[in-house]
Structure formats: structure tokens, C-alpha cells
Structure 1
Amino acid sequence: MTALQGKGPTAVTDAPPPNPSASPDRSAKPDKLASLDRQLIELLRQRRTVVQADLQKSPAELIGRMSRANEAIDQVLAEMLPATDSADADALDRAGVRDWLRHAASFCLRGGENQRVAFLGPKYSYSYMATTRFFGAAAALAPVQSIEAVFESVVAGDCRSGVVPIENSTDGRIVDTLGMFVVHRVHICGEVFLPIHHNLLSRSPREAIKQVCSKPQALSQCRHWLARHLPTAQIVEVASTTEAARIASEQPGVAAVAGREAGRQYGLDVVDANIEDSPYNVTRFAVLGNETIDATGRDKTTMLLQVAHKPGALADAMAIFKNNRLNLTWIESFPIVGENAEYFFFIECEGHRSDPPVAAAIDSLKKQAMRLDILGSYPAAQPASE
């Protein structure tokens, strides 16, 4: 009710009743969003045109292009999305935007000559997540049954690239991968650090779980947690964490140790999260291929070395890195099959093989080594982040 003061008696008038048939005008918001979507599609079309034109000039590159795209994405994020207050409702999630841009980059690369990437499947495994972290979810992904099959796919040319785990911060080296480097001449063209968070996934509550299944490495990385919280449960090894999730989705009383994504795909509940024994549980993956990756100024070089089985031979080889002021970032011994107490050594140092100190070290090693394979020079990956 509104009172209107006039010269005469006070006049009182009722506000008009609302019209139930009238609806608020919401057309502006959908029209605006549709307009923005059209702009995004047009920008994606322009981006793909540029990438595809460049691919015509050098179709053999896949890993190098994706590596440079990832570096450019990180630079754009640093510029456009500096660290912000997490409470800011308008702040964009950096990880989400990075995935979105990486997806666009991989989408624009599709359609070239054999762009397939082999990885240890199935889909939603940790190897799958590492592969999409480097190549994007739009890449032509080819899941295979074993690490050996990843190498063979690249050697045979069935796939342009492959992704394999090389070491874990909890369990150390991945024996199957190192063994394949001894047998196959495949280059390391990049690396990926993937934080590994294992979850107990099931459709049953913890007290009803009688069996826990997963691949051996995942079970090993959670062995203390499992012994403490599920001491009577039967531990069953299966081929992959994704396979474990499938089994848990079909059998009451069975739980899987796997990532959240595998759990979502199979409709499992997270009974307990982050059950890995070490809070810093990271797996490093090697990106395989036959490309020569240009120096970036923040590179690593990995090599396979065999020295004579005599006192001081390994120490003399290590002195070469010291004399050339090269920092070693990884060294791993691997037994030579059929030989008693003789080893190959996987050695990784900072720098690109084209850098003078690295080149000088390689020349000196050639004079001492019984075998020296330069497995690759490639950009050092950014530290692992969620």
C-alpha cells in the first residue's frame, strides 16, 4: 500500500498485482553465453588452422609440439592467472584451465600422420592420467596390455609415441621399463611427474570389506595402511587399478585401491581417501619416441652406460661428470642378464646433449664405456603438482 499526499484527502492506492503469466526476461543470459560459445568455437577453429598449416611443414613432430604447447600454456597461466586468494569466487582454477588449454592443444594436433600414443591401459589408469597430462585428452590414445607392448608399438611404428612409468618416489625404479631400454633403442623425448593418490574404493562400508585388489605397485605403496586398517582382508593382485575398480563394482565386500577417476567411472564410493603410506608419492613417466628434441635451457640427458667390470671403472666414469661440472639427477643400477654381479647404469644429468659440457662428457664416456646409449635429451618437467 502506498499513500499519496495531495491537496485533498489522503488518497490510497493499491500496487498492481503481479501478473502470474509474466515471466522474468532470461533471454539476455542465454544469448550472451551462446555468443561467447560462438567466439570460443571460432577461436578454436583459428587455432587449429594455424597448427594444421604448421604440421604440413614438419608432420613428423608430435612430442616436440606438445612439449612446446605445454610450456606455452604454463607461461600464459603465469601471466593471466597469477596466484590469487582461493576464497575469490571469480578466480579461475589454474589446474582446470590448464587441462582445458591442453585439451584444445591436443585437439588441434589431431588428424596428422599417425599421431597415436601408446600407454599402459586400460583407460583411467595412472598411465592414462600421465599420458593425458602431457598429450591432452583429445590425443589419439592407444591403450595396450603391458609396458613391453608400449615399447614395441613405438619401435614398430604403430604409434608415434608412448608413455611408460620409469620410477616411483616410494618404490623406486620400474624394472619392466628399465629392462625394455636395454633391449630396444627408443628415445626419451619428455617426462611427466604425476602425484599418485590411492583411494580405497568400494560399494561396501569398510567393516564389510573382505578383499582388496589392485596392481602390485599400488598395493605396495599402501601396504602399511592396509595392514593397520584391514588386517584380515585378502590382498589380491590384478593387472591394473582400473581392473580392480571394475571388480569392486561387481562384487560386494570387495574394495579396489585406485584413483578417484576410476572410482567415478565404476560408480564406487571413496571409503578412505589418500591411503598411500608416503604423502609425497609421485611417479615419473618417460615419454617415448624417435624425435630429436631441441634444447630449451632447462633440459636433462639420460644415458645407459656399461663399464668394464674392474675396480674404479665406475668411479672414473662418474669423475667425467664432475670434471665437466654436470649435476647428476638420477643414477640407477640394473643387472646384466646372464652375468654375475655386472650392471648397466642409467644415468641422468642436467643439460642437453648439444650443450658443450654434456657433449664433452659424452665424448669422454665413449672412450671408457663398453656400451653407451644416449637415451635422450628433453625438457625437465615442472615439479609435480595436483
Structure 2
Amino acid sequence: MSPSEPRDPIDSIDTQILELLRARCRAMAQNASAQNNSDWASTLAGIDDLVDQFNQPQASSEGLGRETQRDILRHVASACWRATRPGTHAFLGPPDSYSHLAALAYFGEAANLLPVQSIGAVFDAVARGDCAGGIVPIENSTDGRVVDTFGRLSKGEVSITGEVQLAIHHQLLAMSDLQSITEVHSKPQAISQCRDWLATHLPKAKLTECSSTAAAAKLASTQPGIAAIASEAAGRRHGLRVVGANIEDNRDNVTRFAVLGHDQPAPTGTDKTTLLFQVAHQPGALADVMGIFKQHKLNLTWIESFPQPGTQNEYFFVVEFPGHCQDVAVANAIEDLKTATHHTDVLGSYRRAARAES
């Protein structure tokens, strides 16, 4: 048997897979060179639709499960995308932070990801074109909105092109056992989300805030008696033991991340739109605007207000609702809003995300 001949049927199948991967990269390169309108959000939507069609009730149940199929295709797409469309995606670092896990969940493990030191730095990298995209936290189910993200979104430098709903599971990580822990380090939000557990199991431990969960894990790996609240991935990287698993007080603790970019994702049929607007500071102004959403039968699923920088008693409002800005009802509502508000900005229309585990 010559060295080029496959040794068994599995080798033959693997050879076919490699040939198909090469063909996929060529096809993606052709799309990129032709300035095809395909974007990463559409790629993810196409994979999900393909897996659903492949796993119709009448289809054979043998082989890999639906989620495994989706994960494999997403990884293949991520690798081909990186090979044919060079570019980095910024996230709030360091590696193994929850923002990093969200970036991996969205862009894939093959993506070229760049850790930066602040939410503002993510926006800057995308706005300047240094990065093709980025990801920032926008809301936590326990702690609410992320103010730094809202402040930058109001400037209109970039668009929201997608979202990630990441279930946040905090682990207590240390080199020593639970009884030997005297200090617990983590970022303020993580400590806040675990206060009841800490009060019950480590009532005498000193709680110390730091810049990130991943930085806390790195510190805990250098000093016995110090524990970190961080992700399981951070514990693996730094060789730490999980001395308290899933210590978050809210078992449904979810952080929503906004994916940043400049593209306008095409409608998928399961989209949502995020709008920012400012109304006159006078009685009934906000109620009049809310009437526009009712008139066009748009169901608001989220509304937040935050102060407009440099003003007194002036607020921006951010709302979300199902639908895409290219839908007739949404487009008509936006036109009416522009006449009823000081200004209205579409922050993005993008596919609604399913929940991912950290």
C-alpha cells in the first residue's frame, strides 16, 4: 500500500472531509472577493436553519446530535472565515473572562480574538476599523444595564449586529480548601451576584474587588488562602481547584452581550430591533412616543433610560422589540418616531439569540 492510500474507511472519509473543507474555503473566498453581502450573523443563521432541516422528524436519528452538529459546523465556518477574511474581534479581556466566553460562543474558537482593557476600548477598536467586530456586555439579569456600554452606543459610532445570551455560572477557585480561604477576589459584579453564598459559607473572608474575574483567578494561583470568583475556564488555565461550584445566588443569572460591527444583518424571520431616541422634556412626550409602538403593533420587550451626558433632566431611551428595520411595520414606526422625537437612531436589527452556557 502506497503512503498516499488510505489505511481504512475512516481515513478515506477523513480525506473527503479535508477536501470538502478546502472547497468550502474556496467558495467563501469567492464570496468575499465578489463583495457578497453575506455576513457572520447570516452565516450563523444559515447553519442553524440547515441543522434544523437536516434533523426533520422523518430523518434518521443515527449519528451526532443536533447541538453537536451545530457546534461542528460553527467551528468549520469560523475556521474558514478566518482563513478567507482576515480580521480580529475585540472583547473585554483578559482571556477566560465572561466576555471572552461570549466571544467564543458567537465568533467560534477559530476566530482571531483580541483582548482589550475596557468597554470603551472595544468600541474604539471597531469604530476606527482596527477590528472587524467586537463584543460588549449590555445587561445582566441580576445587576441590570451596563452603563459604560449605553454611553458609547448613544454616540452612534457602530451598530449592534448580533447578541449573545450567556448563562453566568460563577465558580469559587483556589489552591487551598474552603476552610483555609481568608480573601475572595473578583470584579464587583461577580461579588455582588454571589453575596448570599459568600455570607453563608465564608462570612469572615475579606471581599476584594479587582478589574476582572480572570485577573482574580491569576492572583489566586499565586497565593494560598486567596480565592477567586471566576469561570471554570479561568480555573483550568491557572491550575485552580473548584472549591465552590455554581455559587451565583440567582440560578438564572444571564448576561446579554451586544455584538458590534458596521454591517446590517439581513432579516432572518427571528429578529429584534434596538432603538435609541430622545424626547422633549415636557409632560406627555414619552407617552406620545409609546403610542406609536402601540399603533404599529410592536411589542416592547425592553426599555431603559439613562441621562444624556452634559445635560440636566434630559434622558435617552433605549427600547427593543421583535422585528427587523426592513419590516414594513418597523420601518413605518421608525419614520413616525423621527417626527415625534428630537432624534431616533436604529442601533441595530439582528437575529435574536438563544441562551448559551458559560
TM-score, normalising length from structure 2? 0.92
Residue 71, structure 1, aligned to residue 45, structure 2: yes
Q: 1:167 to 1:265 in 2, by over 3 A?
A: same
Q: What's the CA shift string for 1:34-89, capped at 9, x where partnerless?
A: 33332322221121111111111117x6xx53222222332343345579xxxx9x
Aligned to 2:16: 39
C-alpha contact 1:330 1:349 (8 A) present in aligned 2: yes
Amino acid at match of 1:175: V
1:112-261 superposed matches below 5 A? 112-261=84-233
Q: What's the CA shift string for 1:251-279, capped at 9, x where partnerless?
A: 10111111111111111111111111111
C-alpha contact 2:90 2:125 (8 A) present in aligned 1: yes
C-alpha contact 1:168 1:281 (8 A) present in aligned 2: yes
Determine the C-alpha separation between the residues in 2 that align with 1:93 and 1:239. Answer: 39
Aligned to 1:4: none
In the alignment, structure 1 segments of 5+ residues that lack a partner are 1-28
Aligned residues: 350
Residue 343, structure 1, aligned to residue 315, structure 2: yes
Amino acid at match of 1:43: L
In the alignment, structure 2 segments of 5+ residues that lack a partner are 1-5
Q: Secondary structure at the match of 2:301?
A: strand
Q: Secondary structure at the match of 1:191?
A: strand
Aligned to 2:3: none
Q: Secondary structure at the match of 2:203?
A: coil
Determine the C-alpha separation between the residues in 2 that align with 1:256 and 1:368. Answer: 49
The structure with higher relative contact order (CA 8 Å, sep 6+) is 2
Residue 56, structure 1, aligned to residue 33, structure 2: yes
Percent pairwise identity: 51
Determine the C-alpha separation between the residues in 2 that align with 1:293 and 1:72. Answer: 12
Determine the C-alpha separation between the residues in 1 that align with 2:157 and 2:184. Answer: 38
Residue 296, structure 1, aligned to residue 277, structure 2: no
Determine the C-alpha separation between the residues in 2 that align with 1:290 and 1:93. Answer: 34
Determine the C-alpha separation between the residues in 1 that align with 2:73 and 2:230. Answer: 27
C-alpha contact 1:282 1:384 (8 A) present in aligned 2: no
Determine the C-alpha separation between the residues in 2 that align with 1:30 and 1:198. Answer: 46
C-alpha contact 2:29 2:85 (8 A) present in aligned 1: no
TM-score, normalising length from structure 1? 0.85
Q: 1:196 to 1:309 in 2, by over 3 A?
A: same
Determine the C-alpha separation between the residues in 2 that align with 1:223 and 1:377. Answer: 36
Residue 361, structure 1, aligned to residue 333, structure 2: yes
Determine the C-alpha separation between the residues in 2 that align with 1:38 and 1:333. Answer: 56
Q: Give the superposed CA RMSD.
A: 2.1
C-alpha contact 2:126 2:134 (8 A) present in aligned 1: yes
Amino acid at match of 1:44: L
